[in-house]
Structure 1
Amino acid sequence: MSVRQQVLVLYLGTSALDSPVVGWSVYDGTGRTSPTTGDGDVPPYASGVEALRDGWRLFQAAQLIPPYPGGEYDVSFLKHEFFFEKLVDLPPDGPTGG
């Protein structure tokens, strides 16, 4: 068997893993699906905790950096970014098993 990685990036409303998902990306290194998957309007999980309960492993969380004085309401990147992974075994004859 060969092992491939799936990566899930969740952007949460706050730095807490149980806060709501406000943005996401999914990358599937198994070749079973296109590089990014999922429904564009519905997040795959409601929170980071739900992803953990489904077997995703958290491997990176964004640094908590306070806003500069006067910049509290500036529009910028989504700062509460969490990276999760799953390792998936592939059958010896390829991603689809056939």
Structure 2
Amino acid sequence: MSTRQQVLVLYLATSALDAEVVGWSRYDGTGLTRPATGDSDEPPYATGVAALEDGWRLFQASQLIPPQPGHEYDTSFLKHEFFFEKLTAV
């Protein structure tokens, strides 16, 4: 039996871990689930805290970088990105 990693990426409305999930992706190193990204209109968790409560481990949060003056409302990438993992025996 070996251990494989599952990764969950949540994009939150703000930098707070209890903020609403606005986007997500999943990657399953076990090979047990497909497709790799969310296949539902409903996020897997309402907040990052809910993912923690379900056993996901937070291992990276995006750096908070303030916008340059005059660019506060530019459209860009989703800023509040959180990476979670679960280690699963297969």
Counterpart residue number, 1:59: 59
What's the Cα RMSD here?
1.0
Could you tell me which runs of 5 or more consecutive residues in structure 1 were left unpaired when the two chains were aligned. 91-98
- Whichever of the two has the greater Rg, that structure is 1
Specify the alignment match of 1:94 in structure 2: none
Equivalent pair of 1:28/1:37 in contact (CA under 8 Å): no
Compared CA separation, residues 15 and 34, structure 1 to 2 (3 A): same
- Taking structure 1 as the reference length, the TM-score comes to 0.88
Q: C-alpha displacement at 1:35, in angstroms?
A: 4.6
- Whole-angstrom distance in 2 between the partners of 1:38 and 1:75: 23
Runs (4 or more) in structure 1 with deviation over 6 Å come to none
Query: Structure 1 CA distance, aligned partners of 2:72 and 2:36?
Result: 32
Contact 1:20 1:46 in 2 (8 A): yes
1:10 maps to what in 2?
10
Question: Could you tell me the percent identity over the aligned residues?
Answer: 78
Q: What is the TM-score when the length of structure 2 is the normalising length?
A: 0.96
| Cα deviation 1:31-54 (Å, max 9, x = unaligned) | 111251543300000000000000
Please state whether the residue corresponding to 1:45 is helix, strand or coil.
coil
The residue that corresponds to 2:74 in the other structure is 74
Structure 2: tracts of 5 or more residues without a match: none
